[in-house]
Amino acid sequence: MPLAATAAVALMVLPLAGLLVRVPWSTLATELATSEAQEALRLSVVCSLGALAVAVVLGVPLAWVLARVAFPGRSLLRALVTLPMVLPPVVGGVGLLAIFGRRGLLGARLGSLPGFPLPFTIQGVVLAQAFVAMPFLVVATEAGLRQLDRRYEDAAATLGARPWHRFRTVTLPLIGPSLVAGAALSWARALGEFGATITFAGSLPGRTRTLPTAIYAGLQSRPEAAVALSVVLLAVSLTVLVVLRGRWLGAGGP
């Protein structure tokens, strides 16, 4: 057993160590300052925050419905919502193309509207990232809502607070930790999104080339640039993990 456990740790740690060994520390700053790297960084930040916004605006109401409204097929819907967490992202990308692609079921009809067509645009990147990232937010928020003692909302109601007012002043603050944990995971997932993004939105420099797709593209031409960008993503992941440690593990149940 200890041997297998050691092997498991090695399997997880060695690639990270390898990455750190290859980092061109002396030229890291210059590598990250190139216009390609800067563009990818900027695009990644913008798109991942956009995806997070979409996830919050749509995901919180969905979590509320799943936690509070009893309807036939609720368990099925709950399972469906978590599907993107286990689905290969590239499959998600193919699905997005099938619906929102130029010749997709909806895409073909919406093509003339402003902001459309979606493929190979920054909106497309946001959509692909939101598709993959939203389940994390929904799952964490729903767990928070289910753990909340609803009598606090009753108390607010007897004090004269209307539904929206009590949601804003009592429910949201009380599920705050779960919501923050879900948002952080969701954002980190969006930031690292690769498969669905490259399938649906491609990797056009300056338009849809986010950090992960820039890393993939860079590996063939300039590996040291790819390693430098990888270090950035690794640092972000570690930060999110440190911030959420305990909190996520405590509140992330189904």
Partner 1 sequence: MTLTADVGLRLGSLELDVAMRTPPDEVVAVVGPNGSGKSTLLRALAGLVRLDRGRVVLNDVVLDDVAAGAHVEPEQRPVSVMFQDTLLFPHLSALDNVAYGIRARGTGRTDARRRADTWLERVGLDGTHRDSRPAALSGGQAQRVALARALATEPALLLLDEPLSAVDVSAKAPLRRVLREQLAGSPAVRVLVTHDPVDAMALADRLVVIEQGRVSQEGPIAEVTTRPRSAWVAQLAGLNLFRGRAEGRHLVLGDGSQLTVATAVRGPAFALVHPRAVTVHRSRPEGSARNAWPGEATGLHLEGDRVRVQVHGTPCIVAELTPAGAADLRLAEGGPVWVSVKATEIDVYPD
CB 237 within 8 A of CB 156: no
Task: Identify the H or E element spanning 211.
Answer: helix 211-221
Is position 168 an interface residue for partner 1 (rule: CB under 8 A)?
no
Cβ-contact 210, 193 below 8 angstroms: yes
Choose among 179, 192, 194: nearest CA to 235: 192
Using CB under 8 A as the binding rule, whether residue 162 contacts partner 1 is answered as: yes
Nearer Cβ to partner 1 (106/154): 154
Determine if 147 is a binding residue for partner 1 (CB under 8 A): no
Q: What is the DSSP secondary structure assignment for residue 207, as one 8-state letter?
A: T
d(CA 213, CA 190): 13
90 or 161: CB nearest partner 1 = 161
Which of 170, 251 has the CB closer to partner 1?
170
Task: Candidates 17, 154, 238, 245: give the one binding partner 1 (CB under 8 A).
Answer: 154
Residue of 120, 152, 167, 216 that binds partner 1 (CB under 8 A): 152
Asked if residue 173 binds partner 1 (CB under 8 A), the reply is yes
Give the closest residue to 132 by CA, choosing from 192, 75, 201: 192
Note whether 151 binds partner 1 by CB under 8 A: yes
The site for partner 1 (CB under 8 A) is made up of: 149, 151-152, 154-163, 165-166, 169-170, 173-174, 176
